[in-house]
Amino acid sequence: MIDIALLRSHPDLVRENIKKKFQDRKLPLVDEALALDEKKRALQTEGDTLRAARNALSKQIGLLMREKKTDEAEKAKAQVNADAARLAQIEEETQRVQEQLTKVMMSIPNIISPETPIGKDDSQNVEGKRFLEPKTPDFEVPYHLDILEKLDGIDIDSARRTSGQGFYYLTGDIARLHSAVLTYARDFMIDKGFTYVIPPYMIRSSVVSGVMSFEEMDGMMYKIEGEDLYLIGTSEHSMIGRFMNTTIDGDKLPLTLTSYSPCFRKEKGAHGIEERGIYRIHQFEKQEMIVVCKPEDSAEWYEKMWNYTVELFVSMGIPVRTLECCSGDLADLKNRSVDVEAWSPRQQKYFEVGSCSNLTDAQARRLGIRYKTEKGSAFAHTLNNTVVAPPRMLIAFLENHLRADGSVEIPEVLRPYMGGISEICVKKA
């Protein structure tokens, strides 16, 4: 959510930002918000005037009564009562207008970074840097599900019976590899100075609406029937919600946190949920990083965060590249975002394995996350980034470390987490 003061002073900037995001349908929201803001301020001015008048009359009533000017005192009392009734109306109307204004403001997208390329959709995202040289093996790389099945590492048929499409069982060494990657990622981030956190996996609607747009919520979140609780789609949701309606000591910023959680997503309207495989699923696990910092530091942390993910993947021998998200591909709360994509030897192309976002003060305004300053307080900036998210990472791992005989090499950095084994071999029938 943007600052209403920015909207008042630079409405054309906000309109231009909406156009850059190719959301012209939202242009009327600017005038609607300005009108509601003007109405709210007019009500507040009227209320302040009435309160001042009421206070003055209240003092006069006592004086009039002492002077035995009963008729004048009664008239003053009547006016005080009338003012009180009108004040009650004003307060009720102000609250209603404020609720309408907040709803409109939450639908206006965050101001995008000057560094964000302008484009209509993800087809116009811009490639950044590449890390490690992509390799093409001299043998055919099978589909990831075939690799997993030969390693006796997955059971999708049973998952369909127990849970439906978009779920799976991981077994044996593959299940261990899955956990090893997450544990390695946890330790990797702890070594970078991040504090490890395991957050709640369910959050209230007030947190959901604070961390994402209404459109995202509808397409992602699972609601717990009969309760004001949602399953998290990523630990970022509950991690940022942890600081709602708080004022953080400015000397303690930045807060650098890394969190583990399972993630639950409806993937409503997403392509691929019915496809064979585990690229797009309803439940997965993820190691995340979150930073809460002062505004002047968020651009620097943005660069650091995606670089940490790149460093992690490179340490496991997986070629990656960055892809700068264009304006039309940015979620409404994001100021800037970059995807980290891993190389697929089978497809001969890169695919997304993580995303880093700077949300500036958009989430902080929605959730009331402030920090102390010398002059009082200010809204903090929030950032989030995927450290690693199996099973997509597993797909990249298996394809890049597959041998011609079907076995998979375990890189040095993961062997301590795999009991010292150096490979996962094909299971004999």
Pairing of strands 349-358, 336-344: antiparallel
Q: Would you state the pLDDT for residue 274?
A: 46
Per residue in 105-148, pLDDT (tens digit) is 999 999 999 999 999 999 999 999 999 999 889 999 999 999 99
Task: Judge whether residue 271 has pLDDT over 60.
Answer: no
Mean pLDDT of the residues in the chain: 92
Task: Judge whether residue 272 has pLDDT over 70.
Answer: no
C-alpha distances out from residue 46 to 5, 77, 112, 257, Å: 21, 20, 37, 46
Task: Judge whether residue 63 has pLDDT over 80.
Answer: no
Per residue in 1-46, pLDDT (tens digit) is 899 999 999 999 999 999 999 999 999 999 999 999 999 999 999 9
- Percentage with pLDDT > 90 across the chain: 79
Q: Would you state the pLDDT for residue 70?
A: 74
Most confident of 46-55, 111-120, 258-267: 111-120
Q: Would you state the pLDDT for residue 90?
A: 92
C-alpha distances out from residue 200 to 238, 263, 357, 359, Å: 6, 11, 22, 22
Mean of pLDDT values over 236-252: 96
Q: Would you state the pLDDT for residue 341?
A: 97
- The domains of the chain, with CATH numbers, are 4-105 (1.10.287.40), 122-424 (3.30.930.10)
Q: Would you state the pLDDT for residue 273?
A: 45
Q: What is this structure's pTM?
A: 0.90
Q: Would you state the pLDDT for residue 62?
A: 67
Q: Which is higher by pLDDT, 427 or 293?
A: 293
Q: Would you state the pLDDT for residue 413?
A: 97
Q: Which amino acid is at 313?
A: F
Per residue in 334-392, pLDDT (tens digit) is 999 999 999 999 999 999 999 999 999 999 999 999 999 999 999 999 999 999 998 88
Q: Would you state the pLDDT for residue 163?
A: 93
Per residue in 68-82, pLDDT (tens digit) is 777 777 777 787 778
Could you give the CA distance from residue 351 to residue 320 in angstroms, rounded to a whole number? 9
Task: Judge whether residue 332 has pLDDT over 90.
Answer: yes
Per residue in 213-223, pLDDT (tens digit) is 767 777 788 99
Q: Which is higher by pLDDT, 65 or 283?
A: 283
Angle at which helix 298-315 crosses helix 172-191, to 10 degrees, equals 140
Chain length of the chain: 429
Question: Cα–Cα–Cα angle for 5, 11, 13, nearest 5°?
Answer: 105
According to DSSP, the residues that pair with 339 across neighbouring strands are 323, 355
Q: Which is higher by pLDDT, 164 or 74?
A: 164
CA torsion through residues 260, 262, 264, 269, sign: positive
- Percentage with pLDDT > 70 across the chain: 95
Q: Would you state the pLDDT for residue 249?
A: 97
